Structure 1
């Protein structure tokens, strides 16, 4: 999500099958409208007439990045009106929702009918006789993304998809359809939809997808969309030409001992409890196996996964699967999850001396595969599934590899399983938000991490993948520990990982033991990479330009024509769209693909986009309008220049402008031969004037919600709550359960 960013790390759970939860709204953005007041002295405007329990169609964004349905109250002169809100109608069990003093409406968390009507009445405080009323129609929304939210399917293979609605009672059914991806056409067929409706459980619908019997040699991605009213979610289906079958659901299951890593796990006390009621619980990924200089072996994951963001105690039980995948039921209070390790040490987030989100737990006797095997990191088996395998350590003696720009990487995580992406920025300084509870109602701190590594790719990761080990796809050598992420405005996952050598150094220097650590693994080997692509450039090129921006570009084109000189390698110029700054125009400069002419970063105040091509293609009008090819490496000189520019200004930028929460060094999408200072900008506080260069180096902007380490606000689906079993008075359980250790 989204990022989740949310982060991705600690995912909130779904309810018990027989217990009805409350649901917090998440949402999209809709169009504004004007509502008719009862009294012309008071006017209501800006809300939506129809939304769902996820707040789909909401028209504003709150401070956390999520969208809300905001209604503005105005007096006759157009000024703001100070009003008191009252709500009526709604669901017979869940109520009418709530309204705060800012006019932000939150729908009820669930419905017991297909549709309910809510009446919102504003009463002017200075004159209570003056009121204005509007009506909202509420329909059930999705509780979470489809399960699974991504999967690989072999030609002719099948997979069953499941969706849940926030509806207990009623007859609404989920409508499924096969849809096209960014570049591919829709492929495959769906079987009949089967839904379960009951008064005391949420509505669940399933459908079976069947892949086509022939698949493009390079593989492709198609989507299964699910709709219920205005609410929408989808699953990405990777049609694997190699015949690989991968369902991330396996990563959420209880595994037989000794367990392979890359699956669900967490602290046994990682829940929010109110008396005997469990409101929320969390979980993440058990990432890798470490060994210390004395031969002891430890689970490696994030602090916020194993140590509850500094709120755990040494000796706490680490369980598999995590509570998130066991209906919020801790070990000792019911079946389904078991302790496999004991929390040993963590890097305190509150310490200014630590630079990684990491924790380790001493493994129990025969509880964890001592080879360090990770789910799906191995080769394809006879049935098309991928075997578990240890990461490669033979090239680095277990000390980890340094990730480089454009390196193809893989990770095996609790939520999205095995996925591949690429390193898109290095030397990243980034602020990440942490909370003291699963529901993210208690902010803990915002921590600055330096020299981090950014990864991106469609469906690369999501909430619950935190703690996953990131490896070089070419040899399975560890390159990083994933800890935060989200989804940018183009729909592409942006993830953060601490370089693997830095994690080992930090644990040795800061965890208090003074011992050295290394990754447990085997011989280097290639990973059967599952990549869903990267739609960053394609999404940027689909973004429309404003009339003002087009006029600016047209004016700059006159100056750009003076650059054309075929003998010097510049073949022509045209109007285009920047991929480094979405929504901004660019001057396309076509250059001879056999030459490397010097093209200015900007012309007439506009960015330049440099595209290698041929003179014949320019003359025929068939030259591309954007750099769609895969990124290649940069020269050391280009990279070093960008690093220097970033180091000189990045920290100052972040301190002076709170909208900027991260700065690193990557590759320009407008001119891949040049490096760029990559700047991560809060989408809720987007700056109007973003510079095109930093000390002469190109800038590239990633616009998204701020990074945090639980649920990504961009992830479809709300936070969820579940109840303890009736009569259970034992929660929360003490997580410090004794387990057999070496």
Structure 2
């Protein structure tokens, strides 16, 4: 008789300090033998890197958080070793950005409005973010961060104390924190198209050189460049913030229309959405976490400011273009603030954290519905002879689209430069262009240039025009939470309209809009709170 054994591990997710413990429980059904064997990080009983777990399910986190900092806890049924359940242990990563500082503080550090607390029953919740950078306006120095960090999402007041570290890094207590600035001006969230605020520094409490923690390299603070940069598709960027320290990635999209969720209070408030236009989207789940709001995003090749980080999701980060931030924070005489900085310098990104732009996904069709494979097969059979007339075309096959991994593609392999442009779709099916190994070996520099060089301004303008015409219409579908301009993964060198779709929701996104390819990214909603990590007990981060 076949047993229908299931194993469930609780809690499903827990956040644990380095060296701390968490008891996991396995519930086994479908058999009288309810015993399990435990593993951490794929190792039975665990080890010093992933942490250890006893036969009773007591997990002890490693003394130093691993990279990545999430460890999978697995319970395997003794009755049937093919049946198991899993949970996640999130090991808190400590960064010097979170520490109290003595003397004038460096920026990129934990901080926020000292009144940003909410009481629920007998428990106190508090929020904070990152004091991102120093700006100067008409001879006065201010800390630059977000409205929702310094001004409590339009609920604060001029003069509110701004502390370092933030309340979330002091367990909601006031011991060890100090006031380093006072709230001065905030751009209104729903009308300014930015989430930004400034707080005038308290004399002697902030490093007036504008130095930011880790901005040269981990452990090496540095000034940002005094020259304002411009965000660009595939641009390598960096930030130093409270929650995740120094991280690096690349720009996924510019000119993005993005819907972002806020809360009216630190805990238990009412959520509301704000839609921003011409935003900057950054790739990768590891670029930011809750607590990094307010960080200055810079071009990692020269440290020039390009954006102000304010929200994120499980797949990426969004920021306001820095010039828009300046313009929204003019004084009554029309004078704009500027980031205080020095000369250009590169940021030495931590190993493994610099994402490469345009990296395509797997070409195989495994996992695609048969209907998708059949659709692409028909298109391939119908158009193969026509495509093969170009001597540069080596093969025409069926595979998976890298611009929309839920769709099939007619995969055109080139052994040289095509004499005519490969169409973006054939018979309603996306095309995907790849270079074969022989061509790559003969032209490695060309391949590298295609992967790393920015998209031409002509291509960007083509996609920008299509985005401007259709973004608002696309976002009438509630499952679409953002539309921007980026690079196609199906056709290196081509631009694309990047469509951010809420995970778990089905949306039919056209393969081509006004002659421009589309690229679909599935993501959780973008939020200004509690993204990327679990809420810390008794306090929260922004």
TMscore range, shorter length: 0.7 to 0.9
- The structural deviation recorded for 1:336 is 2.4
Residue of structure 2 equivalent to 1:205? 60
1:346 is matched with: 186
Classify the secondary structure of the residue corresponding to 1:607: strand
Q: Gapped runs of 5+ residues in structure 2?
A: 26-35, 76-85, 442-446
Tell me what 2:326 maps to: 504
1:163 is displaced (CA, Å) by 5.6
- Please say if residues 141 and 166 of structure 1, whose CA atoms lie closer than 8 Å, have aligned partners that are also in contact: no
Aligned to 1:299: 143
- Quote how far apart the aligned CAs of 1:235 are: 6.8
The corresponding residue for 2:383 is 560
Distance 1:473 1:616 in 2: 31
Deviation at 1:539, TM superposition (A): 5.5
Distance 1:711 1:647, change over 3 A: same
What is residue 569 of structure 1 aligned with on the other side? 392
Shift of residue 142, structure 1, vs aligned partner: 3.5
For residues 447 and 193 of structure 1, the distance between their equivalents in structure 2, rounded to whole angstroms, comes to 41
Which residue is 2:264 aligned to?
Answer: 436
Deviates more, 1:313-322 or 1:587-596: 587-596
Q: Distance in 2 between matches of 1:617 and 1:310?
A: 54
Q: Could you say which structure has the greater relative contact order, defined with CA pairs below 8 angstroms and 6 or more residues apart?
A: 1
Superposed CA RMSD in Å reads 3.5
- Say whether the 8 Å CA contact 2:14–2:88 is kept in structure 1: no
Secondary structure of the corresponding residue to residue 375 of structure 1 = strand
Q: Does 1:143 align with 2:7?
A: no
Contact preservation (8 Å) 1:677, 1:698: yes
> Is 1:578 matched with 2:436?
no
Q: CA 1:669–1:163 in 2, change beyond 3 Å: closer, same or farther?
A: farther
Alignment of 1:647 onto 2:468: yes
Shift of 1:274: 4.1
Counterpart CA distance in 2 for 1:438 and 1:166 is: 29
Q: Tell me the residue number matched to 2:41.
A: 177
TM-score by length of 1: 0.62
1:283 maps to 2:139: no
Q: Tell me how far apart the structure 1 counterparts of residues 189 and 496 of structure 2 sit (CA, whole Å).
A: 30
CA 1:298/1:522 → structure 2, altered by over 3 Å: closer, same or farther?
Answer: same
Q: In the alignment, which residue of structure 2 is the partner of 1:81?
A: none
Listed as ranges, the matches of 1:76-475 within 5 Å are 139-144=10-15, 161-162=18-19, 165=22, 176-177=40-41, 190=48, 193=51, 205-208=60-63, 225-227=71-73, 230-233=86-89, 248-274=94-120, 277-293=122-138, 295-329=139-173, 331=174, 335-350=175-190, 352=191, 354-379=192-217, 385-393=218-226, 396=227, 400-439=228-267, 441-443=269-271, 445-475=272-302
Alpha carbons 2:14, 2:89 under 8 Å: kept: no
The number of equivalent residue pairs is 505
- Provide the rounded CA distance (Å) in 2 between the counterparts of 1:644 and 1:369: 43
SS in 2 for 1:710: coil
Q: Residue 142 of structure 1 contacts residue 166 of structure 1 at CA under 8 Å; is this kept in 2?
A: no
Contact preservation (8 Å) 1:540, 1:583: no
1:519 to 321, 339, 342: 339
2:519 maps to: 700
Counterpart CA distance in 2 for 1:165 and 1:189 is 16
Larger of the two Rg values belongs to structure: 1
Identify the match of residue 453 of structure 2 among 610, 628, 632: 632
CA distance in 1, matches of 2:68, 2:125: 33
Deviation per CA, 1:374-410, whole angstroms, max 9, x where unpaired?
A: 110125xxxxx531111011xx3xxx21111111110
Is 2:482 the partner of 1:659? Answer: no
Q: Does the 8 Å CA contact 1:439/1:719 hold for their aligned counterparts?
A: no
**Cα distance in 1 for residues equivalent to 2:473 and 2:529:** 28
> Are residues 596 and 427 of structure 1, via their aligned partners in 2, closer, same or farther at CA, if it must alter by over 3 Å?
farther
Equivalent pair of 2:250/2:355 in contact (CA under 8 Å): no
Q: What SS class does the counterpart of residue 222 from structure 2 fall into?
A: coil
Structure 2 Cα separation of the partners of residues 451 and 192 of structure 1: 41
Contact 2:129–2:149 (8 Å) recurs in 1: yes
Return 5+ residue gaps in structure 1 as ranges. 1-34, 36-47, 53-138, 148-160, 180-187, 197-202, 212-220, 237-246, 380-384, 488-492, 619-625, 724-742
Residue 141 of structure 1, CA deviation: 4.1
2:31 corresponds to which residue? Answer: none
CA distance 1:616–1:343, shift in 2 (3 Å): closer
Q: Deviations over 1:28-85 (max 9, x none)?
A: xxxxxxx9xxxxxxxxxxxx97655xxxxxxxxxxxxxxxxxxxxxxxxxxxxxxxxx
Change over 3 Å in CA distance of 1:175–1:719 after alignment to 2: same
Q: CA deviation at 1:592?
A: 3.3
Greater shift in the superposed pair: 631-640 or 411-420: 631-640
**1:438: how far off?**
2.1
- Tell me which residue corresponds to 1:128: none
Q: 1:343 to 1:545 in 2, by over 3 A?
A: same
Aligned to 1:93: none
Cα drift, residue 465 of structure 1? 0.8
CA distance in 1, matches of 2:131, 2:488: 34
Note if contact 1:340-1:367 (Cα within 8 Å) is conserved in structure 2.
yes
Distance, in Å, in 1 between the alignment partners of 2:50 and 2:464 is: 55
C-alpha change, 1:679 and 1:355, in structure 2 (3 Å) is: same
3-state SS of 2:221 partner:
coil
Cα 1:534–1:51 shift into 2, 3 Å: farther
**Residues 572-611 of structure 1 aligned to structure 2 (within 5 Å):** 572-595=395-418, 597-611=420-434
CA distance in 2, matches of 1:477, 1:375: 15
TM-score (norm. length: structure 2): 0.84
2-side partners of 1:685 and 1:192: how far apart?
Answer: 34
1:143 touches 1:166 (CA, 8 Å); kept in 2? no
Distance 1:281 1:209, change over 3 A: closer
Q: CA deviation at 1:552?
A: 1.6
Q: Is the 8 A contact 2:127 2:539 kept in 1?
A: no
